[in-house]
Amino acid sequence: MKHYISVTILLLSLSGFAQQYKKADFKTLDAYLTFDVSHKKVMGKVKYTFDLLEKTDTITIDAHDMDYTNVTINGKKAGYVDAQHALKLYKGYKKGKNTLEFDYTAQPKQTLYFVGEEDGLQIWTQGQGKYTSHWLPSFDDMNEKVVFNLSVGFQNGFEVLANGELKSKLAEGNLQKWNYEMQNPMSSYLLMMAIGKFEKQEQMSASGTPLEFYYRPEDRDKFEPTYRYSKQIFDFFEKEIGVQYAWEIYRQVPVLDFLYAGMENTTSTIFSQDYVVDNIGFNDRTYVNVNAHELAHQWFGDLITAKSGEHHWLQEGFATYYALLAEQELFGDNHFYYELYQMAERLQQASKTDTIPILNEKASSLSFYQKGAFALHVLREGVGHENFRKAVKTYLEKYAFKNVNTDDFLEEINKVSDYDTQSFKKRWLESPKFEVGEAIDLLQKNEFIQQYFAIGSLQDKPFEENQEMFANIMESDAFWPLKEEVLFQLAEVPFDKKAPIVRAAMKTNNVKIRQAVARTVTTIPDEFFEEYKSLMKDESYITREIALNVLCTRFPEKIGEFLDMSDTWVGFNDKNLRILWLTFAYTTEGYRSELKENYYTELQEYASPKYESSIRQNALSNLMYIDKQDEVVLINLARATQHHKWQFAKFGRDNIRKLLKKEGYRDAFTAILPQLKNNERKRLEQLLAE
């Protein structure tokens, strides 16, 4: 097997670069990294081994804005050019085996993130879409696969995670040196580090793979609901896929202010702290699907990797579909088909404006992930489950640690079935259309979906015609989305007419069905008041949020009663319930007047950079609703514009623009400019100048 690095003649065009592609084969990397936390810098000592296959004038290693010293090849001073985005070697290597060594320093603008301070400090990476070459000289092309071994020196008291097995942890001066090793090659976008105050629990898969689950010490009580079903998912995948997990260990770690839901770094998934939940939070938001999706990538993406963005669905479509198969194993066929149905709804709607097919590097995430998953469902149903399983197994074994394209996969399907893969490819991969008829036919294989479609067809009929049927459904043991759909169809029906059905829904004690009552019964007659108020005790943070909002809005004279019931609520990781409570408590005249300033100060605190962006955004939204034209709020809004999460930065920019249209705010924002950091001030000045 060959692992090729991008090779170029110095100063050649990109076309020249492409022609030089397969001339050097990089084998291994050994790197030792340390950090200057206060300046957000990384310092590294790097050793690469590579074989030169053909004579070339220049070898390029991707590296952004780095400083290099002690650059040697085979122990002698190397000839190199320090370009802005690359280390270009032009002298010192020979045909055959070579060893490259150098030291470097970088202050990454992306891909390596320093979050929090002191004991709350976390350092973590995100390679896909951002390029690992911002913090480690490596290879942006995912066709280049190398055995990466990372060692990291960091202060005592912190856990350091990287790809592969931890081989040793040694004291080195005032640092601990963590040494990780990989056995097989991977693309550099799958490299990872995570440093923080973590604890872990361990399990063993049925096949003997060590499983490590990390969490912050303060989240110890959330371990079980967060990682629920993890071992079952791992064991299911090995059985369903038919190919044993290819790596030596599997670990998962949540980090603060992560850019995405999760990232499938080889052996070591990083995921968002927002998925760390307690038993109540699990009823609303779980890590199960993200957990399964990222684990599936260890086969589809990490073991085999797409050759180019055009074939990205081979990673995301497979991971999305196998996550659904894991949920089918855990939660049953009805759940599986309901998820497929919701996916089909989104795809049908998007197809009205989304004109880019799956086999295009510019396809939308919805296409790569969900249309790719639905396409696999079409294929699996078309060729038969067992044939599909055989083809996937052969595909993975044949291309292990290599790169693939769509035809490589379809070729394996053709070997086990006479299914028309060319027609499939045209309909599902090369066309932007969503094949609604084909999708409906497959969905209706499930009896629950047939019932769901039947109920959906009743929405334009008078309530009186449906009343008996709806009552029977609510009293039955039907799958919960059927009952939810009934309640949604009754949203505009007067309460006195639908009361028996609503009360039957409340008695189901199903969190989802009662939550549908909370959403749809917003005009609450006196005789239903106590029953509706009971929703505030449901094991659901979403239901509690809805109920508190509705009750405080509909019964302002009883706000004190509702706030007294909920003054210890916190909610999800984003403190949704606490921030809502503080807002009501502060704005409600006469309620705990002596504590109002404390409540406002707490809201201000949550808007500060001490907290994650989800908490800050919630707090800022509520503070802007209160609208005190508060200098602290405006400063924190300006700070948001420079956050590494683009969603939060956009929130900051968009809301500054809105406020600038209101009287007095332009002067207020101008007044805070001297208090901002240079980058924050420049961004605010740009917004003021628009």
274, two tokens: 């927002």
Q: What is the mean pLDDT of residues 489-503?
A: 97
Residue 536, C-beta contacts closer than 8 angstroms, at least 6 positions apart: 544, 547, 548, 551, 562, 565, 566
Q: What is the mean pLDDT of residues 160-175?
A: 95
The residue with tokens 């916190």 is 570
Residues above pLDDT 90, as percent of the chain = 95
The three-class DSSP label of residue 330 is: helix
The answer on pLDDT for 591 being more than 80 is yes
The answer on pLDDT for 435 being more than 60 is yes
Express each pLDDT in 566-588 by its tens digit: 999 999 999 999 999 999 999 99
Pairing, β 59-62 against β 250-255: unpaired
Q: What is the mean pLDDT of residues 145-150?
A: 97
pLDDT of residue 583: 98
Q: Which residues pair with 473 in a beta bridge?
A: none
> How many CB atoms sit inside 10 A of residue 21's CB?
15
Residues above pLDDT 70, as percent of the chain = 97
pLDDT of residue 17: 38
The answer on pLDDT for 100 being more than 60 is yes
446, two tokens: 């499930």
Name all domains of the chain by residue range, CATH numbers in brackets. Answer: 1-110+121-184 (2.60.40.1730), 198-303 (1.10.390.10), 305-445 (1.10.390.10)
The answer on pLDDT for 3 being more than 90 is no
Q: What is the mean pLDDT of residues 627-651?
A: 97
pLDDT-derived band at 83 (thresholds 50, 70, 90) equals very high
The residue with tokens 């770094």 is 265
pLDDT of residue 299: 98
The answer on pLDDT for 8 being more than 60 is no
The answer on pLDDT for 524 being more than 70 is yes
Q: Which string of DSSP letters, residue by residue, matches 87-121? A: EEEEES--SEEEEEEEEEEE--SSSEEEES-GGG-
pLDDT-derived band at 2 (thresholds 50, 70, 90) equals very low
Q: What is the mean pLDDT of residues 85-97?
A: 95
pTM for this entry? 0.95
Q: What is the mean pLDDT of residues 231-247?
A: 98
Give the number of C-alpha atoms closer than 13 A to the C-alpha of residue 615, restricted to the C-beta side: 22
Residue 93, C-beta contacts closer than 8 angstroms, at least 6 positions apart: 50, 52, 59, 73, 74, 78, 100
Contact 180, 60 (CB under 8 A): no
As a whole number, the mean pLDDT across the chain is 95
Q: What is the mean pLDDT of residues 352-356?
A: 95
pLDDT of residue 23: 86
pLDDT of residue 567: 97
Rounded Cα distance between 94 and 56, Å, is 10
Closest among 256, 259, 313, 267 to 294, alpha carbons compared? 267
Express each pLDDT in 271-306 by its tens digit: 999 999 999 999 999 999 999 999 999 999 999 999
